[in-house]
Amino acid sequence: MKITVINGTEQRGCTFAMKEQLLASLGGGHTVTEYFLPRDCPIFCTGCKTCFYKDLSACPHAQYTVPIWESIMDAELLVFTSPTYVFHATAQMKALLDHYGKNWMAHSPQAPMFRKQAVIITNAIGQGMDKTVRDIKDSLDFWGVARTYVIKQALFQPQWEQVTKKRKAAIMARCEKTAARITSRKRVTPTVKIKALFTVMRIAQGMIDKSERRAGREHTADYLHWQKNGWLNGKKPWRE
Ligand SMILES: Cc1cc2nc3c(=O)[nH]c(=O)nc-3n(C[C@H](O)[C@H](O)[C@H](O)COP(=O)(O)O)c2cc1C
């Protein structure tokens, strides 16, 4: 299996240890590509909107954003990790995800996403993990990722070495269970939620196009993307 890991911190601390546990639980024989933030995307989205009018290749930060996106597209399993910082994902993770707004279902989603699985890994001393998960899961859901699993754990210690054996055992059990679910799924199809989101976004594309045409404007790049993929005529990006 091809696995792309996006580490939302460069620290080799608790989050890194949890991610290593998941990779170990998945077993050998996989091709793993890892990115570390902010090292591999050390720049904020400036909001130029070029990607929305054209595509991601036109991003002024394409030297960072395109290789990571290509790796995401190539992978069968995506792993996103982030410690909880002030009740949310790290800013560097958000900065990367902002760059991929074009690939949201509201714009130009990519068909391979609807056949991928993903895992979000987070932890905290105590509080805020749900919003960390949400920060990442919103993007994965709106990219169309078929199945997303969550591994989260309150650690009550700032250093991995100080985390209790009981909590480490709970993390290991969660990683083992998640790995088993991922590897046992031979045919990856989207959840009902992802399919419903796609349907709503398809209807929205038609409505947006009508209003653009009424205003005397051309089809948007997003509308043409949906049209080219046949999704406006009943075709689906997942295996039926
Ligand atoms: C800037 C910053 C903000 C943090 N905010 C929170 C927080 O809101 N809630 C919490 O429980 N822990 C918070 N923590 C603690 C980290 O989530 C926790 O120590 C985590 O295990 C660090 O992961 P790491 O070892 O991979 O760096 C914060 C840590 C830092 C550095």
Asked whether the predicted pLDDT for residue 120 surpasses 90, the reply is yes
Tens digit of each residue's pLDDT (9 = 90 or more) over 68-79: 999 999 999 999
Which residue in 236, 135, 121 sits closest to 189, CA to CA? 236
DSSP string, 4-60: EEEES-S--SHHHHHHHHHHHHH-SS-EEEEEETTTTS-S------HHHHS-GGG-T
Q: State the chain's mean pLDDT as an integer.
A: 97
Q: Answer whether 0.95 is exceeded by the pTM.
A: yes
Closest atom of ligand 1 to CA, residue 16 = 26
Closest by CA to 161, choosing from 6, 17, 8, 10, is 17
- Which residue out of 10, 81, 125, 161 has the highest number of ligand 1 atoms within 8 Å of its CB and is therefore the one to mutate? 125
Q: Which of 19, 81, 84 to mutate to test the pocket of ligand 1 (most atoms within 8 A of CB)?
A: 84
Percentage of the residues of the chain whose pLDDT score is greater than 90: 99
Q: Is the pLDDT of residue 116 over 90?
A: yes
pLDDT at 239: 83
Q: How close is the Cα of 63 to the center of ligand 1, in Å? A: 30
161-182: average pLDDT: 98
pLDDT band with cut points at 50, 70 and 90 for residue 27: very high
* Ligand 1 pocket member 15 (CB < 6 A): yes
Q: Is the CB of 191 under 6 A from ligand 1?
A: no
Name the maximum alpha-carbon separation found in the chain: 65
Using the predicted structure, report yes or no on whether residue 191 has a pLDDT greater than 90.
yes
- What pLDDT is attached to residue 23? 98
Is the per-residue pLDDT at 46 higher than 90? yes
Residue 240 has pLDDT above 90, yes or no: no
Domain extent listing, the chain: 2-184, 192-233
**CB distance 170 to ligand 1 below 6 Å:** no
Cα distance between residue 112 and residue 35, in whole Å: 20
Ligand 1: distance of its center to the CA of 86 in Å? 7
Distances (CA, A) of 204 to 98, 106, 197, 198: 21, 8, 10, 10
For residue 25, the CA-to-ligand 1 centroid distance in Å is 25
**Domain 2-184 grouped into CATH 3.40.50.720:** no
| 83 Cβ closer than 6 Å to some ligand 1 atom | yes
Tokens 């009550």 belong to which residue? 156
Please report the pLDDT score of residue 214 as a whole number: 96
